[in-house]
Amino acid sequence: MRVDLLKFIQDWLFSMFRKPGIIEFIRSLLLEVPKAHNSFELFSYDAKYKANANASVISLEHHINREFDVKAKITELDGKPIDFLVTVTGTVDEVRLRSLIDKYKLAGKSYVFKIGEVIYTAGFINFECENIIEAYTVEFNDHVCEEDNEVYFTVTILPTENSGAANEHKWQVKVNSTKPVRGDLRLDIWVPFIYSDGQDRLAITSVFLSSGENEAYADLSLYETEVTFLGWEIHSITPNHDSYYNYNKN
């Protein structure tokens, strides 16, 4: 049953104390109470569950699944010398798993548990001392190194000498790639800028990279007494991928 704790306390306060300042003070004192109550409920639920767990096959399977977030299956054997097999599909802490099984299994019962290709055996001699035999098998085949197939570009815009009209400004657009390209590429570069009249403009130029290159240039000419660049943007890359690389604009 959920209880509005603040309302419950307000109802039991004398009317002379039901003032906004006192109510807010009480509210501040109660801020951590819901969190503590929720933590207690989770602890209580977990404690009740563990208290109800037993050595039955269904209970032990469910308990292993819940504790390790895996799928476990228990198979009863003939007891010569092993009484039951625990098969787990997934990765678990073997020490914790052994401890859990030992906690809930019936006294005197021997078992084996298997995790993937790793098999752990626990047996008993005269039902007195537990003998543990552990076998580990690890095998690696066909090592594969993943190749980085991403290519990125940077753009640099540099002024060059003017060779035309007095108000002509020439710029060199330089493009670098992080790896030599494997085919012919075309990059369309957008260069936004501001003229001296305060109006925004957009210049467009194309840079071509041939196969095997990782650097290329293009010229950009503007006719204005004063130009302020706002930046650059790679608008498109053609083609944007091939059988070797993905070509990224950013």
Higher pLDDT, 10 or 44: 44
Separation of alpha carbons 185 and 230, rounded Å: 25
170-176 average pLDDT score: 86
Is residue 108 predicted with pLDDT exceeding 60? yes
Q: Where is 20: in which H helix or E strand?
A: helix 20-29
Short-list 122, 60, 67, CA closest to 90: 67
Tokens coding 73: 């299956």
Tokens coding 100: 């859990």
Q: What are phi and psi of 222, to 5 degrees?
A: -130, 140
Query: pTM (2 decimals)?
Result: 0.39
CB 187 within 8 A of CB 207: yes
Separation of alpha carbons 102 and 109, rounded Å: 9
pLDDT at 34: 78
11-34 exposure pattern, b = at least 16 Cβ within 10 A, e = fewer: eeeeeeeeeeeeeeeeeeeeeeee
Is residue 189 predicted with pLDDT exceeding 70? yes
Q: What are phi and psi of 58, to 5 degrees?
A: -60, -45
Separation of alpha carbons 36 and 29, rounded Å: 13
Short-list 94, 95, 84, 81, CA closest to 57: 84
Q: What is the pLDDT of residues 131-169, one digit of tens each?
A: 566 666 666 665 555 557 889 898 888 877 765 666 677
Q: What's 17's DSSP letter? A: G
Separation of alpha carbons 157 and 190, rounded Å: 12
Separation of alpha carbons 173 and 64, rounded Å: 64
17-43 average pLDDT score: 82
170-190 average pLDDT score: 88
Separation of alpha carbons 193 and 172, rounded Å: 15
Separation of alpha carbons 218 and 171, rounded Å: 9
pLDDT at 132: 61
Residue 226 CA, distance from chain mean position: 49
Q: How would you class 204 by CB atoms within 10 Å of its CB: exposed for 0-12, middle for 13-18, buried for 19 or more?
A: exposed
Tokens coding 111: 């078992």
Q: How far is CA 165 from CA 221, 223, 224, in A?
A: 11, 8, 10
pLDDT at 141: 63
Q: What is the pLDDT of residues 48-59, one digit of tens each?
A: 877 777 878 888
